[in-house]
Amino acid sequence: MSIEIVHRIINDFGALLLFTMILIVAANQISGAIYAVAAQSLFIAIAGAVLATATGNVDLWIIAGITLIVKAMVLPWLLLWVIRRMDVKREVEPVIPTLTTLALAMVVVVMSFHLSASLDTVRQTITGNALPVGIALTLNGVLVMATRKTALSQMVGLFSSENGIFFTAMAVNKGMPLIIEIGVILDVILAVLVMTIMVLRVRSTVDADIADLHRLRG
Amino acid sequence: MTGDKPLEIVLLEMFLLVLLGPLVTGFIQKLKARFQSRRGAGVLQPYRDLVKLLNKGSVQADTASGFFRSIPVLVLATTVAAGALVPVVQAGPPAFPLGDALMLLGLLSLARFLTAVGALDAGGAFGGMGASREMTIAPLVEPVLMMVVFSTALAHGTTELGILAEQRGASWILTWRAADFLGFAAMLVLLPAETGRIPVDNPDTHLELTMLHEGMLLEHSGPGLGCMMLASHTRQIVTLGLAAALFFPIGLEDAGVIGLLLGTLSFVAKILVLAAYLAVIESSYAKLRLFQVPQYLGIGFVCALMSLALRIL
């Protein structure tokens, strides 16, 4: 594959990733956001496979496979299981109106494209639009975490934030060392597991959401 | 800008749109019925409804002015005129100055405005409510649709749909740029809103307080109602045709009889796919509350704006 085709495919996947990000921000129901983040991870896995064929880097194949299995299948399934198990409210509870969040998300995307245009030399070592898309995904994930009340929907934000970091790291020429990528993925798995267990425990002992913890004083 | 597409072909395309419009509605209704495990009415049912309505007499509210009678004809005329601007079987600009995508969107919103004026004129409570709701939704849909058109137009430096379709002729999903994906996503979000379908409006109901478009048609009867319904069928196929011309202008390159046949076939295929999409969406979602519609359309707005931003930055 020529380098132009790879650039274009990565750009196209960048657009799809941004679309799934919008769906996550605009989702009314937690399950909708989880499906969107699963689709996002799937796109990242495919993009990783494309980069792996283009660069002939075996590590990227492994990373794409791990992303596909862990982040596109196991973790979303885990989150959906928690929702079914806990019988929580299925609606996302935003702190500020979703429409405002959408507007903020848009500002983040446009700003990250605008800013990364000034990073010309850095951008050349990164494939296509991966840098601005990665920054946009990361910051929007933080935005989702900041504007949601319940722990489950904040986890979705953490997920997509991590996806953004992953996408950028993958698109850096020939990818990052395997050990670092695996370390990052393990971090996320651990975080999600801990948070899931915590949510389950908190739910089963006291009926509370994150906003109620503000009143908790030691 | 003028090209070499003769007047006959433009007229043929226009009549094809008007003729096939009710068929698309029938197809969507049939598909929806199958999804609900019903047999459903035949695909030709909208035609039968139209014939029935055209043969009936008409009654008019006492409060309506003389203008009310001309509303259905005007709405039908503007919608059909909008149909002339969509490249259906052959790409390329017409041989005479006709108008571009902005003209098309303008004509569609003129039809919308006339419908709302007619509903207010008749003085019925439902009509007024439907009109005010339609006018609340319209300013959210139309600018976004324009941004989708602009995003495509920006890449080719023209808003003339024929030239756009011609230049994008060879393009297919494999050659799409990143901005095209986002633009198409915005289009997919907008299509149900622009064609008045779930999750924004429900075309099947005449009973709910939530109806938008149907509420505005309540005061019309007989041939007038027939005209309004034909106009909404045509509006639907024109919108689908616009989406097809912007994103899938394939099979429109050749002139000549074989080219025209090929163009017609590919057009029918594209419209059927988009109509099936509408039917699937309509069967799998509930109608949104009116106050949630801006949030839904916000998805389309953000996608369209990002598509524009990707083209510029």
Peptide bond into B199 cis (omega under 30): yes
B185, A129: Cβ pair inside 8 Å?
A: no
Q: Which of A12, A22, A110 sits opposite B299 (nearest CB)?
A: A22
Q: Does A8 touch chain B if contact means CB atoms closer than 8 Å? A: yes
Q: What is the dihedral of CA B73, B142, B244, B265, to 10 degrees?
A: -10
Q: Does A143 touch chain B if contact means CB atoms closer than 8 Å? A: no
Instruction: List the domain boundaries for chain B.
Output: 7-312
B178, A98: Cβ pair inside 8 Å?
A: no
Model ipTM?
A: 0.86
**CA A67 – CA A166 distance, rounded (Å):** 9
Q: Which of B185, B295, B305 sits opposite A98 (nearest CB)?
A: B295
Q: Which of A12, A16, A26 sits opposite B298 (nearest CB)?
A: A26
Q: Does A23 touch chain B if contact means CB atoms closer than 8 Å? A: yes
Angstrom distances, CA of residue A17 to CA of A43, A80, A136, A218, B254: 7, 21, 10, 42, 36
Residue that wins the pLDDT comparison between A49 and A170: A49
What percent of chain A is helix, strand and coil (3-state, nearest 5)?
80, 5, 15
What pLDDT is recorded for position B102? Answer: 92
| A/B interface, count of CB pairs below 8 Å | 63
**CA B86 – CA B89 distance, rounded (Å):** 9
Cβ(B216)–Cβ(B72) under 8 Å? no
Measured between CA atoms, how close is A142 to chain B, in angstroms?
18
Q: Which of A11, A16, A18 sits opposite B177 (nearest CB)?
A: A11
Q: Does A61 touch chain B if contact means CB atoms closer than 8 Å? A: no
What share of chain A has pLDDT > 70, as a percent?
87
Q: Where are the alpha helices (DSSP H) in A147-214?
A: 151-171, 178-205
Cβ(A92)–Cβ(A28) under 8 Å? yes
* 3-class secondary-structure state, position B138: helix
DSSP assignment, residue B174? G
**CA A25 – CA B1 distance, rounded (Å):** 42
A109, B313: Cβ pair inside 8 Å?
A: no
Mean pLDDT across the stretch B284-299?
89
Mean pLDDT across the stretch B263-280?
92
H or E element in which residue B143 lies: helix B125-156
Give residues with Cβ within 8 angstroms of B207, minimum separation 6.
Answer: none
Q: Which of B181, B295, B306 sits opposite A106 (nearest CB)?
A: B306
What pLDDT is recorded for position B292? Answer: 86
Q: Is the pLDDT of residue A88 over 70?
A: no
What pLDDT is recorded for position A211? Answer: 67
Band (A174; pLDDT cuts 50, 70, 90): low
Cβ(B166)–Cβ(B155) under 8 Å? no
In this structure, what token pair is assigned to residue B65?
Answer: 């002015």
In this structure, what token pair is assigned to residue B182?
Answer: 């986002």
Q: Does A104 touch chain B if contact means CB atoms closer than 8 Å? A: no
Give residues with Cβ within 8 angstroms of B117, minimum separation 6.
Answer: B67, B71, B131
H or E element in which residue A144 lies: helix A130-146
Residue that wins the pLDDT comparison between B211 and A20: A20
Over residues A32-59, the pLDDT tens digits come to 999 999 999 999 999 989 888 888 888 8
Mean pLDDT across the stretch B129-154?
92
Instruction: List the domain boundaries for chain A.
Output: 3-205
Rounded (5°) CA angle B140-B146-B148? 105
Taking Cα atoms as reference points, which of B313, B309, B308 lies closest to residue B150?
B308
Cβ(B247)–Cβ(B180) under 8 Å? yes
Over residues B10-48, the pLDDT tens digits come to 898 899 999 999 999 999 999 999 999 999 899 999 999
Which of A17-26, A126-135, B130-139, B220-229 has the lowest average pLDDT? A126-135
Measured between CA atoms, how close is A217 to chain B, in angstroms?
37
Mean pLDDT across the stretch B80-85?
92
Q: Is the pLDDT of residue B170 over 70?
A: no
Going B142 to B143 to B147 to B153, the CA torsion angle's sign is positive
**CA A54 – CA B39 distance, rounded (Å):** 51
Give residues with Cβ within 8 angstroms of A187, minimum separation 6.
Answer: none
Measured between CA atoms, how close is A42 to chain B, in angstroms?
17
Measured between CA atoms, how close is B300 to chain A, in angstroms?
9
- Report the half-sphere exposure of B197 (CA within 13 A, side-chain side): 28
A15, B182: Cβ pair inside 8 Å?
A: yes
In this structure, what token pair is assigned to residue A209?
Answer: 């959401």
pLDDT, averaged across chain B: 88
